[in-house]
Amino acid sequence: GAVVSQHPSRVICKSGTSVKIECRSLDFQATTMFWYRQFPKKSLMLMATSNEGSKATYEQGVEKDKFLINHASLTLSTLTVTSAHPEDSSFYICSAPAGGSSYNEQFFGPGTRLTVL
């Protein structure tokens, strides 16, 4: 199946700093990518939809100025957690639909564990 990578896999940062997480589709193009947040032993919460060439669409309750999303190319989307605080500590996962169509199953990255001290 298609491969989605994330970098870094794990990051620890100080409170107040910004952290950038990259999501790449390695062998296919994705005009749309999705960013999720997962708390321990909890389900995935969709944060936003990243759209290549246009602004991201955020879910209700997600601060767009806090979680900046940039879909720079057909294979790369980045999530920047700005002025991170301990409550932002979480497991962040991205995904992209197979075959470029959001009707298809999504392929997920391995996740990035963010710890804010």
Partner 1 sequence: AQSVAQPEDQVNVAEGNPLTVKCTYSVSGNPYLFWYVQYPNRGLQFLLKYITGDNLVKGSYGFEAEFNKSQTSFHLKKPSALVSDSALYFCAVRKVGTGGYNKLIFGAGTRLAVHP
Give the closest residue to 69 by CA, choosing from 94, 90, 45, 44: 94
Cβ-based nearer residue to partner 1, 38 or 80: 38
From the list 12-20, 65-73, 75-83, 104-112, the region that binds partner 1 by CB under 8 A is 104-112
Residue 33: name the closest of 66, 72, 88 by CA.
Answer: 72
Q: How far apart are CA 114 and CA 89, in angstroms?
A: 5
Binding track, positions 54-93, relative to partner 1; x by CB under 8 A: ---x---------------------------------x-x
Query: Token digits for 71?
Result: 């879909």
Count of positions on this chain that bind partner 1 (CB under 8 A)? 26
What phi, psi does 52 have (nearest 5°)? -65, 125
In the list 21, 107, 114, 116, the residue contacting partner 1 (rule: CB under 8 A) is 107
Helix residue spans in 69-114 (DSSP H):
none
Q: Which amino acid is at 47?
A: M
Residues that bind partner 1 (CB under 8 A): 1, 4, 6, 32, 34, 42-44, 46, 49, 51, 57, 91, 93, 95, 97, 102-103, 105-111, 113
